[in-house]
A and B are shown apart, each in its own frame.
Chain A
Amino acid sequence: MRIVYEKPATLEELFSLMKLLPEGPGVKLLAGGTDLLPQLRAGRSGPEAKERPILIIADIKRIQEFNGIHETDKGLFIGAAETMRAVAEHPLVRRYQALAEGAGRMGCLEIQNRATIGGNICNGSPSADSLPGLLVYDAKAVIISEAPDGTAPRERTMPLERFLLGPGKVDLRPGEALRAVVLPRPPENSQSRYYRRTRVKGMDLSGINAAIYCESPEPKAGAAAWPAACGLTGFRIAFGAVWPTVARARMAEDILNSEPVTRQSFERAAEAVLADMKPRESSMRATPDYKRAMIPVLIEMGISEMGGASD
């Protein structure tokens, strides 16, 4: 297999490269390349690479449409080619704390400077560090493709959670590319946290990760802190490495949001996740038992940290 590297400057150039003929060269989109290049090297780059004589690596970084972090009327736009470091440090992302924390924990500094949020999503890892934070903010995936009549490119938008289909699988059809994610503006009284468990404190992949989002009511004088009481509402919880994709724990959210949070409801919420989870038995990053043990721990960390508990 011969590899050809292309760096299109415009969407038009990209789409002309991506016009796949079954007998022609395969095309792989490259942003940071921190997942793609090791996969190519290990011969795990999918059938479009293996069975074709030529593989085109199309680098999307230079195309304007894939770049930028800015506010829009639909929420915060983050271009797919923005680096994890840019996401972690951008002032506009700060309000989406679980996302900023997740992007800032991924890999190491060097990798964060190279890896992109689009790549982190499209790689489809069940434990991707950016995804729990994105999912608790109800992020939308913006998918772009060439218009059939060759005029303006076509865009479709879908909930990011549905974009994730399985390990290594996302809902991109031939000719499509992930352009950006858009995060609706959260209420002022919202906050979130990102947690992950790893084997070492140095560079590692998450054995299990989670984002917890909630909204706080007006603080009442003399209100007791967790675990005695918790006035938090509007919980959104996402776990990675618990299901085949990063996903929202809606069963737990429903329990926590249906009544004032108490130790009993918290425990029922954790039980609901435990009953539903499908951890990979053979994971070298965390055993299923450890993940089970961490479900209540990570949820409680979120509640206690955001509920002002002093322990």
Chain B
Amino acid sequence: MNLKIIGTSPDRLDAAAKTTGEALYTADMKFPNMLHMKVLRSPHAHARILGMDVTRAQKAPGVVRVVTGRDVPGPFGEAVRDQYPIARDKVRYAGEPVAVAVAADENTAAAALDLIRVDYEPLPFVLDPWEALNQTSPVIHEGLMEYKTAPFVMREGHNTYQHMKVRKGDAQTALAAADLVVEGEFRWPPNAHTQMETLCAVACYQRDKSLTIYATTQAPFIVQSTIAELLEIPPGRVRVVSPILGGGFGGKSDVTIEALVACVARFVPGRHACLTLTREEMFNGATHGRSAACRYQIGFRKDGRLTAIVGESVMASGGNADYAVNIITGMALAGAGPYRVDNVRLDVYGVYTNAPPIGAFRGYGHPEVHLALESLMDTAAEKLGIAPYTIRDYNLLRAGDANAIGQVMSPHSGNVAECAKLLSEKLSGQQLPQAVPHCRVGRGMAAYMKMPCMPSNAQSGAFIKLNPDGGVTISTGAVDMGQGLHTTLGQIVAERLGLPFSKISFNATVDTLISPYDWQTVASRSTWGAGNAMLLAADDLLRKLREQGAAYFGVSPDDVETAGGEIRAGERSLPWGKFAAGLRGPDGAALTRPVTGEGYFVPQGVVNPDPETGQGNAAPDWTMGCAGAEVSVDMRTGEITVLRLINVIDAGTIINPKNAAEQVSGAMLMSLGAALSETVIFDKKTGCVRNNSLVDYKIPGIEDVPGQVDVYFVETPEESGPYGAKGLGEHGIVGTAPAILNAIYNATGIRFHSLPVSADRLIAGNPAIKGGE
């Protein structure tokens, strides 16, 4: 195939608007007489609400309305119906909304919160995942077994809302027979998404019982259906608009503050009401990610062959579960990593805890299990006297091998062995830097694979509208949250239509009343899913152009050509643009209709995994790769400096190499933060988040970015993807943290089992240093 635009890196379509500050985000939406909301949040991690007095707040000057949990419907939820827009009777985490004040301005609303009296009866709380799993821990959702759930939810009661199993071969017997068993527990604490844009929603409920909500959402259609059901409004009357999004990373997927804002807006009909979370509220009033513990035992033959993986993992999901059910699926289905292994037994539990809820976070369960797997792979390699690359190469999935859930890899599934080989060459191709005094240097690697965790029919849609200048405007239901989606989709469309990229324009806003359906913008699925929909829409546009050309020229559509932006029938031709609004004959009579292409894509043949064994064609594709890190550790101060990060990824055909490399390196840096400095810290006495700001939730600064961050692509075209492409937005995060931990071990001989590895912990773990343990 002779491709002109695929594989090039044109400037991003959104670059100018975002660089100049002209791009409009949700918080920029201002309306006449707009009201503002402030949320009163629970100071208790777990408590019964005995009573509430809002009369003083309600009477305060400037306050329009105070709304409590008793005023609003609930519960709601897509997978487990366990969330209340505002807590009713009980609070399940410190930070859960208990009342909302609506006033003419934010300060008045905030002052009104001080006038609300809530009587709580504090209850014992639980934060630890294993403790929550234990039957003796406090019960967080007494009604769990009665909640409405999606069919794939396998709850066990107490705090366990999901238990997902993977069974293949006879893992216990294989483990007993193994020459070597390595084991350990690995923990990834809760991480904050730390998007630049905090959550915001502006809603207006009108007396004709319609609701418009502008929201910072990656999932406008999920928000639409959830609100429609919650407020009992026909979905066609719920207009969810997702303007330009300032970063998502999963923290704006599913339903966040929109349910609360929509419910409260109903009490001030005819007026727009806005809620913008402060940065501090993003730490107790929004979802976090990760928060998982994984206990793994892995069996090997003497020669390094993997024979068995047995894992028990638990995710501490916070005060409600809802869509976190699907993260459990990710942890289970990817729990054996990119390896060929005949005997697998994985149990993954989702449990409630008294922390802010855990939701989607770039990587979706995969980084958590890879931390355990890839750390133990290195331990096994060392014990068996095999190089880290060699032991991985020996076991990596190749075409014809079945993965842990029984999917047989085909040649187009991706070449992880080639990724590992290239990574190993790149990592060792450069001399290890000379250690400066007191410092030790080391290297580590980790292989990975990730699938899009999504409903088996996750749909994507696309519209392409022809313009009078012969260019086209693309629209999709997928959200551009900074990942560069419109540019990538524009390249796919330009390639298929044979237009120069400059002829592509895009509609940045998703509007559920007019945009085509798209499940949600998550799971690294949009280049693949929306890209496929764009191809179908482009073909539809070309077909209609031929039809309209045939009508105009009076020939058969088969005799019309569309190449080069011209509609051609034999010797006669007209530019595409002439057909945009329709053409007339010499007598003025209309001959053609306006031309718009539409396309819808759903994955084919994907099914739910078997509930007892996890087996089945549950993943439409896997993106595989290998991460590498080189670190320097100052043994006096414990300071860890990441010198190099490398990622070799097989994400099929790369549509836009620059954009793709930025996605992978951005994800790697997010993983670096998790590996070395990021964690949400809870007060053990109160269960409150202690570090609810960027002062003490430490994300890396530019100074922490390694001097060398390299991304390499192995491009095995994916059969089901547009021009052979598949997802890569999340994958850089999956292997990077374990690669850094392996590098730290390689440098220091200290094996860390949890994140983040701070200088504190490094010093304490080093018996050679005074003051250590």
- Enumerate chain A interface residues (CB-CB to B < 8 A): 42, 108, 197, 199-205, 284-287, 289-290, 292-297, 301, 311
Contact = CB atoms under 8 A, between A and B. Distances in A.
B701 A289 contact: no
B704 A293 contact: no
Contacts of B638: 290, 293
> Of A284, A290, A294, which is in contact with the most chain B CB atoms at under 10 Å from its CB?
A290
A201 B758 CA distance: 12
A199 B764 contact: no
Given A289-B773, A290-B764, 8 more contacts: A197-B639, A202-B700, A204-B701, A290-B759, A290-B763, A293-B763, A293-B764, A293-B771
Interface string B619-638: 00000000000000000111
How many chain B residues sit at the interface, stated as a range, is 20 to 34
A285 B697 CA distance: 10
Nearest to B639: A197
B770 A293 contact: yes
B766 to A, nearest CB: 9
B695 interface: yes
Nearest to A295: B771
Interface in B727-773: 758-760, 763-764, 769-773
Nearest to A286: B760
A284 B684 CA distance: 13
A290 B759 CA distance: 8
Nearest to B763: A293
B695 A205 contact: yes
Given A202-B702, A203-B701, A205-B695, A284 B681 contact: yes
Contacts of A295: 771
Given A202-B703, A205-B695, A197 B771 contact: no
B237 interface: no
Contacts of A201: 641, 700-701, 703-704
Interface string B239-281: 0000000000000000000000000000000000000000010
A291 B119 CA distance: 42
B696 interface: yes
Interface of B: 280, 437-438, 636-639, 641, 676-677, 681, 690-691, 695-696, 698-704, 758-760, 763-764, 769-773
22 contacts: A42-B280, A199-B677, A199-B759, A200-B676, A200-B698, A200-B699, A200-B700, A200-B704, A201-B704, A202-B700, A202-B704, A284-B690, A284-B691, A289-B772, A290-B759, A292-B771, A293-B638, A293-B763, A293-B769, A293-B771, A296-B770, A296-B771
Contact of A197 (B690, B701, B759, B772): B759
Nearest to A42: B280
B438 A311 contact: yes
B763 to A, nearest CB: 5
B703 A311 contact: no
Contacts of B769: 293
A290 B760 contact: yes
A225 to B, nearest CB: 13
A199 B698 contact: yes
Contacts of A293: 638, 763-764, 769-772
Contacts of B677: 199-200
A56 B771 CA distance: 48
Contacts of A108: 701
A241 B704 CA distance: 23
A290 B765 CA distance: 11
Nearest to A293: B771
